[in-house]
Structure 1
């Protein structure tokens, strides 16, 4: 039995046109599946990068129903893959002014395998640019990890995270307990200045300190709303080695979750067992 799992990060430059974004996402997912990926991840807001922040409220779907969720389930079943659907906005009952920024993961039969609502909401103010996600989003509260099984029968535990979560190592420690994850999946739309400064080093740090694989799918380019996102979708091994990267533009980044390699890293340098706090 093989101890590896082929994974793919989809990088997009999403627009305000949901239908066009779904076509593009479907094409890239098909490309990843054709290349052998068994788990494919989309970036944050793969379905919409609107002209203004409140645009996401207009397309927010009720949990379990809507064209975006139907597309995700359909792609997973069509290609027989595990699909981590970046994020999409889901409605919050009784609160039309806010949505959750939700990552939904689907099994190869199209069934829902996991839901994660982004816990950490981004706020930025450098004196010239200001942004506050809490104006339109409500934060989640629970870390989410789930187990998948490869076609060869390998069990892999996957922890979910979204964009600004990357700056909070305690979330990833929580995902390592009581059972260790083998793979962290990160969907993001990092800004150009914060991505240029911190994206790579933070992703590698999360991999190194948890001796865990990382699959990071990002928005990467200049969007119709004028925003420029950093991109650099990555696959990183448990030693912090970058297996593959897509700097900017649409594309698919392929890599391997190698459990034998991870076992060697954890056995030779048992840092996880040495924790005292």
Structure 2
């Protein structure tokens, strides 16, 4: 499967963002197009209200992605703010649209970015912690959003649910060592799970860029720098099978008991 990772700096004008998406994806030869997190409407400043920006799943943003998918004859994954039961705190949601324009599935970000001095939970609601895997023409893709990368158990749950590729839209905030964390975590999730990782990130003043398609051995098949643009690469089932034969770590897993403390039976020392 040929994958296109779209790297761009979204703003707070959804129509302008859609214009940029259409420009960057025009004429792409890809079966899967991955857009960044919050590509419908950026987070803005820490005081930007996200509730008024949220849309329903049958709103103009998803409708536009549906038209894009049909026009490009490709599956499209992208991030939006979805209305929730809390008018002030919408969901941070990924939508997956098939080449036929039909909405295939959604994933509401489970791990909100309350880290590095930022509090995403002040403005957004967390989704339920459940693995979301979607079949895209025979490729089983597991969905993660940005900060989810820091939780290896989330990726492993997706792989246990059948994911062969992890799709990771992100708006990875710049900062000391943050770019290094991004690259390390994308490669680590690929290596430890022997899967492809297709990570499409926002760029610009606030975000790190560096979108990457990493293969099951941790090799960057395609990678971007800091600028807006598109990078493409191939997800190859034979490469996946070869990697899992050479590195059968998933077959070697042992069940580890939870640590119950120094006086507990599980994990205690004599």
Q: Which of 209, 230, 237 is matched with 1:252 structurally?
A: 230
Give the number of the structure with larger relative contact order, counting CA–CA contacts within 8 Å between residues 6 or more apart. 1
**Hey, which of these two has a bigger chunk of strand by percent?**
1
Q: Which runs of 5 or more residues in structure 2 are unaligned? A: 256-270
Q: Which of 227, 242, 261 is matched with 2:239 structurally?
A: 261
Q: Which runs of 5 or more residues in structure 1 are unaligned? A: 150-154, 223-227
Q: What count of residue pairs does the alignment treat as equivalent?
A: 252
SS of 1:215's equivalent in the other structure is strand
Once the two structures are superposed, the pairs formed by residues 1-277 of structure 1 within 5 Å of their partners are 5-30=1-26, 34-49=27-42, 50-62=44-56, 64-85=57-78, 87-93=79-85, 95-125=86-116, 130-141=117-128, 142-149=130-137, 155-179=138-162, 181-193=163-175, 195-222=178-205, 228-277=206-255
TM-score of the two chains, using structure 2 as the length reference: 0.90
C-alpha contact (below 8 Å) 1:91/1:100 kept by paired residues? yes
CA distance in 1, matches of 2:68, 2:110: 26
C-alpha contact (below 8 Å) 2:80/2:94 kept by paired residues? yes
CA distance in 2, matches of 1:255, 1:249: 18
Alpha-carbon shift at residue 242 of structure 1 (Å): 0.5
CA distance in 1, matches of 2:160, 2:179: 31
Question: Cα gap change, 1:258/1:249 in structure 2, threshold over 3 Å: closer, same or farther?
Answer: same
C-alpha contact (below 8 Å) 2:50/2:88 kept by paired residues? no
CA distance in 2, matches of 1:269, 1:215: 20
Alpha-carbon shift at residue 133 of structure 1 (Å): 0.7
SS of 1:72's equivalent in the other structure is helix
SS of 2:155's equivalent in the other structure is helix
CA distance in 2, matches of 1:21, 1:192: 21
C-alpha contact (below 8 Å) 1:16/1:51 kept by paired residues? no
CA distance in 2, matches of 1:29, 1:10: 8
CA distance in 2, matches of 1:74, 1:207: 31
Alpha-carbon shift at residue 52 of structure 1 (Å): 4.3
CA distance in 2, matches of 1:246, 1:269: 27
SS of 1:247's equivalent in the other structure is coil
CA distance in 2, matches of 1:178, 1:160: 11
- Which structure has the larger Rg? 2
Alpha-carbon shift at residue 56 of structure 1 (Å): 2.2
RMSD: 1.3
Question: Cα gap change, 1:178/1:184 in structure 2, threshold over 3 Å: closer, same or farther?
Answer: closer
CA distance in 2, matches of 1:9, 1:263: 23
Alpha-carbon shift at residue 53 of structure 1 (Å): 4.7
